[in-house]
Structures are given as structure tokens and as C-alpha cells.
Amino acid sequence: MNTLSTAAARRIRLIGLDVDGVLTDNGVFIGPVAGERVELKRFDIQDGLGLILLRTAGLPVVWLSGRASEATALRAAELKVEELLQVPGPGKAAAFAEVLKRRGIEWSDAAFVGDDLADLPVLRKVGLPIAVANAVPDVKAVATHVTRAGGGHGAVREIVETILRARGDWGEILARYFGEQTAGAA
């Protein structure tokens, strides 16, 4: 279940990611600070670099969250995520369908990474459904790939490396990334 063929990896033209439970560890810290409501989330830094590597590879990334969060919007902006959709869980499939239609991408050419029940309608339609290690059993049952790492603990980075290595692009992407970093420093 965890090997990814070169053909499957090369077919992917867009990667969608759930946020809570995939990019985070599913924890949310909410409380008052100076009389204002504050929400904090923990994002994995290695996942962030993975997303930068996907951008270097020319693979667009869409974040699809079932709840609106300023913390999510801040992290997406920091990583220059192509699109952030924050829609109620039952609306995820329709929102993702609109992105695919607008970009001229078929469901079969998209990957999606999820962890919970709200992700099932999207996972059932994409060409590469992926579950993180701590996903609920129903999500794992529809996934063709399950990560070893849990959400918020390097699962996205693992997926990025798996896809780029299966495509045969890993070495080239690293060379481009480090070349871009060196050129930017000059």
C-alpha cells in the first residue's frame, strides 16, 4: 500500500492538503490574550520545506481546511501556498472541484492528503488518495498510500519526498532549490 509507482507520481498535477490533522498535529490552543481571542497551531517546519520543494518542482499545492483560522492563513501566506480554501467540512469536495475545473485538471490527476471524515468525499474522487498515519480508519480504508509519520509530525514532507523520488525528480529539485538559494544570496 505504501509504494508509489512512477506512473502514478508523474500523473499528479496538483496536491491538495487538509490542514488540521495533516499539516498540524490536530491540536488548537485557544485562549484570551490581553482580552482578545487568540488561536495558535503547531506546524512542522520540515513539512514547510517540503512544500517549498513542491513549488520548486512546479507542482501547485492547495490547502483545504474545514474551518476558518487566522493561524492557518498566516502559515499559508508565509509558505506562499497557491490557494487556501477554508470551507465547512461538507463543502470540501465542491470547493476542490472548483479549483480543479478552474485549473483544467481532472480529479484523476490530483492527489489529496486527509485524516478525518470530512476528507472522505475528496479522497474518494482523486487519483491519489493519501492518509496520514493518525488518520481515522475510514480514511485509511480509501487511501492508496498511508504515511509512516503522523499529521503535523513530518507526514507532508514524507509525501513530498515519496512523490518526487517516485517521479525521479528528487536530485534535480534539490539542486534547483539549493541553486535558487545560492543565487538569492548573491
Amino acid at 112: F
141 has pLDDT over 50: yes
| Mean pLDDT score across all residues of the chain | 94
Percent of the chain surpassing pLDDT 70 = 95
Q: How many domains would you assign to the chain?
A: 1
> Distance between CA atoms of 148 and 121, rounded to whole angstroms?
23
Indicate whether 175 belongs to any domain: yes
Burial class (CB in 10 A: 0-12, 13-18, 19+), 58: exposed
pLDDT value at residue 2: 63
pLDDT value at residue 66: 94
pLDDT digits (tens, 9 = 90+) for 26-37: 999 999 999 999
Indicate whether 104 belongs to any domain: yes
The grid cell for 74 is 498566516
Indicate whether 84 belongs to any domain: yes
pLDDT digits (tens, 9 = 90+) for 25-70: 999 999 999 999 999 999 999 999 999 999 999 999 999 999 999 9
Indicate whether 19 belongs to any domain: yes
Q: What range does the domain containing 39 cover?
A: 7-185
Indicate whether 1 belongs to any domain: no
Percent of the chain surpassing pLDDT 90 = 91
Indicate whether 125 belongs to any domain: yes
Residue 145 sits in a domain whose CATH number is: 3.40.50.1000
* Predicted structure pTM score: 0.93
